[in-house]
Structure 1
Amino acid sequence: MAKTVRFQETGGPDVLRLEELEPGEPGPGEVLIRVDAIGVNRADMLFRSAQYIYPVKQFPAGLGNESAGVIEALGPDVTGFTVGQLVSVIPNFSQNDYPQYSERALAPVTSLVPRHESVDAVSGAAVWMPYLTAYGAMVEITGVRAADTVVINAASSSVGLAAIHTANRLGATPIAITRTSAKRQRLIDEGAAEVIVSDEDDVAGRILALTGGRGAEYVFDAVAGPGIVDLARAVAPSGTLLVWGGASGQPTPFPGFELGMPALNLRTFTVGEVIRTPERLRRATAFVSKGLETGAFRPVVDRVFDLADIVEAHQHLESNTHFGKIVVTTSR
């Protein structure tokens, strides 16, 4: 039996319950993982509260699709991995199918990334979702190049920080946007060339000033909502505004007519575009692995909670006060 988080209805953090469940035996294409650490993502909160891009299929429901641990058992046709091997589980599957908030969990073999013994479980659970997202958007989809200016809002999130690191690795100039000045210095320390405080600054005006009036070649928007119009004002001609989140929870207008129909590329993106395409995933894991090896990339962990404190972990996630990744560990 394994302690497992489930919920019987969608709602706030208090719908989450810890239960004792049998994870079952791995079938074809599956492995059984002894889970040591779990990456907590905004997608988990949205799924739990019925706000995600796909719904909960049935109740009781599980949660989570990113973890790190040790392989306990292999399905009958699984090759390339061994029992006892350290792995990270990347989120290339639905939380409906392989929930990871548990001491032991099934996972598809296609989601496994070998984890070197020098990488602890917390780091192994914290690194992949942010960097795969940043790589996919910046390299595979938009093609950020050296000397480009890249604007990133919600910059203190794990994805925002990974985007800052990735922009620097590509030779681009990352401009971070954050709501309050409390996180300004930490963002500078993480590699932001400039920090714009949205509660205090004229965001579009500051971007235009920092780029000599040209605007940014790429703007990565994790907030969406009405603020997208202001961001669009600061995109360089023929530049790209990519929406990869909807943290505002508000309707998002098309920023065109009121701006005089500028030469603007507007695109949405989810990490699924990369992690569900084998060739893209191969390139992505190689890119991220090399960045980790050289030290250009590293997980930024805000707080670590015990699985028994999952409600508190989700309350912390919803507070939007965290800087980097929230991770949950299992106790044994």
Structure 2
Amino acid sequence: MKAAWCKAFAPVADLTVEEVAAPVAGAGEVLIDVHAAGVNFPDGLMVQGKYQTKPPLPFAPGSELAGVVAAVGEGVTGLAVGDRVAAFSGVGSFAEQVVAPAPQVFRLPDAVDFTDAAGLLITYGTSWHALKDRAALRAGETLLVLGAAGGVGLAAVELGALIGARVIAAASTDAKLALARERGAAETIRYSDEDLRERIKALTGGRGVDVVYDPVGGATSIAAIKAMAWGGRHLVVGFAGGDIPQIPANLLLLKSASSVGVLWGNSLRADPVHHAGNIAELLDHLAAGRIRPVIDRVLPLDRTVEALEHVMERRAQGKVILSVRD
């Protein structure tokens, strides 16, 4: 089969697309013919050996996909050859076939196409878990989304608005902020040239925000935490800005606030039943048209390097998808 292949932890540009041996479904696993795969920031980190986990070399990167079940391993129930599915593979999805654990494979409604499904699991799964499970965001609260034009950021904007929160989107350009408004943001902050903390004060009458959705990190995190309301919740989603913030504990103490981690993939593995329910909710919302991933671009598997670099350089507005078979 054809796959993007990482032979050593190195720059993304060193990836090759070549013929490799196809995987085989073992006990409790599902073999899937990949039609579309979502490209995510952690995929690029993993290729460079900079992610929290390092897969054994060589490997195909890529952690989410949509396609058709080609085979099921021993002990798998509820899935059959020919089923249309989305899956979280953790690794291996930038290939014509991938194996995924059965609890991480989800049947698709007929109304959902492969491209949208491939852009759903990680961004919307992360954001739904963050807002619903970790922050307990409620209708009427104020949600600040940093990096609001990226994949997880746009999902958080859309889901926050769906919950009924007042969403403030922060991004670096007017074009990115306009996209966030299209997805449900009530207010915007261009933090490339606006003081984030002061702008939040102005927009909230000095009260601050109830929840901060933070995939950015660095100094931006500290400014946002300082602008939280009493009892605020800061969601640590990632560090796309490059720096891991050192959060002074007194900032949380003074406002009876909290800062909590959000790592969706590990959460899915730890509690697959709960997260299967979350994914079912998201697929229902998608099929009904209440949410829909913003697709920045769709590229063929042969252009995996270009797709990853577009995401890693933070040029993507929404999701980048690899079209593997279509």
Q: CA RMSD in A?
A: 1.8
Alignment-derived partner of residue 32 in structure 1: 31
Alignment-derived partner of residue 198 in structure 1: 191
Alignment-derived partner of residue 119 in structure 1: 112
Q: CA deviation at 1:250?
A: 1.6
Matches within 5 A, 1:279-318: 279-318=273-312
Percent identity (aligned): 32
| Counterpart pick for 2:315 among 316, 321, 325 | 321
Q: 1:295 to 1:118 in 2, by over 3 A?
A: closer
2:233 match: secondary structure: strand
Q: 1:38 to 1:153 in 2, by over 3 A?
A: same
Structure 2: unaligned runs, 5 residues or longer:
none
| Counterpart pick for 1:69 among 45, 67, 70 | 67
1:304 partner letter: V
Q: 1:28 to 1:273 in 2, by over 3 A?
A: closer
Alignment-derived partner of residue 138 in structure 1: 131
> Deviation per CA, 1:238-288, whole angstroms, max 9, x where unpaired?
211111111122241113457984432112211135422123213312321
Relative contact order (alpha carbons < 8 A, sep ≥ 6): 1 or 2 greater?
A: 2
2:71 partner letter: A
Take 2:303 and 2:45, find their aligned partners in 1: how far apart are those partners?
Answer: 19
> Deviation per CA, 1:57-88, whole angstroms, max 9, x where unpaired?
x3212211101111111213222111111111
Take 1:259 and 1:28, find their aligned partners in 2: how far apart are those partners?
Answer: 46
Residue 157 in 1 paired to residue 156 in 2? Answer: no
Q: 1:272 to 1:315 in 2, by over 3 A?
A: closer
1:306 partner letter: P
Take 1:257 and 1:119, find their aligned partners in 2: how far apart are those partners?
Answer: 46
Take 2:157 and 2:168, find their aligned partners in 1: how far apart are those partners?
Answer: 8
2:304 partner letter: I
Residue 100 in 1 paired to residue 93 in 2? Answer: yes
The two structures have a TM-score, normalised by structure 2, of 0.94
Take 2:208 and 2:197, find their aligned partners in 1: how far apart are those partners?
Answer: 9
Total equivalences in the alignment: 325
Residue 53 in 1 paired to residue 52 in 2? Answer: yes
Instruction: Report which stretch shifted further, 286-295 or 107-116.
Output: 286-295
Instruction: Report which stretch shifted further, 38-47 or 288-297.
Output: 288-297
Structure 1: unaligned runs, 5 residues or longer:
none
Q: CA deviation at 1:121?
A: 1.3
2:109 partner letter: H
1:321 partner letter: R
Q: CA deviation at 1:11?
A: 2.3
1:87 match: secondary structure: strand
The two structures have a TM-score, normalised by structure 1, of 0.93
> Deviation per CA, 1:64-118, whole angstroms, max 9, x where unpaired?
1101111111213222111111111125xx42xxx11111122221111111333
